[in-house]
Amino acid sequence: MAKSLYVFTDGGAKGNPGPAAIGFIIKDNSGQVLVEKGKLIGRATNNIAEYRAVIEALRWILENIKQRSLTVNFYLDSILVVNQLNGLFKIKNKNLKNLVIEVKNLEKKTKGKIFYNYIPREKNKKADFLVNTAIA
């Protein structure tokens, strides 16, 4: 069974706020893709969509990966979300604060180590493609 998971997430909105979608890809430590998912989430801002993508990926892990105490490495192209989830930036927006609480509650349920890493947009093309396909 996998010891680590690698999760690439993205979220976006047409107009900000506007129709929004999320995308995520989860791979195991051998590089095998376990899931690729893109879906509409309704009207939201870009930042809310970024958080919803992390939440949806964590939910998928909890529902589909029986092993706990995994290391989960997230890769996002949102510096803001990465730094907020890593506790480096304060969260002033009430809606974002509530999403962070939801993320932290899901993290606890995985009983694993979760890391949030920033990657440039060019290295997150697949997740971006899933968002744009869902929103089109």
In the chain, domain spans: 4-135
Predicted pLDDT of residue 20: 98
Predicted pLDDT of residue 1: 56
Handedness of CA 92, 88, 114, 118 (dihedral sign): positive
Predicted pLDDT of residue 2: 60
Predicted pLDDT of residue 96: 95
Radius of gyration of the chain (CA): 14
Q: Encode the chain (136 residues) as per-residue pLDDT tens digits.
A: 568 999 999 999 999 899 999 999 999 999 999 999 999 999 999 999 999 999 999 999 999 998 878 999 999 999 999 999 999 999 999 999 999 999 999 999 998 999 999 999 999 999 999 999 999 8
CB within 8 Å of 97: residues ≥ 6 apart: 91
**How large is the greatest C-alpha to C-alpha distance in the chain, in angstroms?**
42
Predicted pLDDT of residue 39: 97
Tell me, yes or no, if the pTM score tops 0.85: yes
CA 13 from chain centre, in angstroms, equals: 15
How far apart CA 117 and CA 108 sit, in angstroms, is: 19
How far apart CA 44 and CA 65 sit, in angstroms, is: 29
Pairing of strands 4-13, 18-28: antiparallel
What is the CATH code for 4-135?
A: 3.30.420.10
Name the token pair of 32. 């095998």
* Residue at token pair 């396909």: 133
If 0-12 CB within 10 Å is exposed, 13-18 middle and 19+ buried, where does residue 120 land? exposed
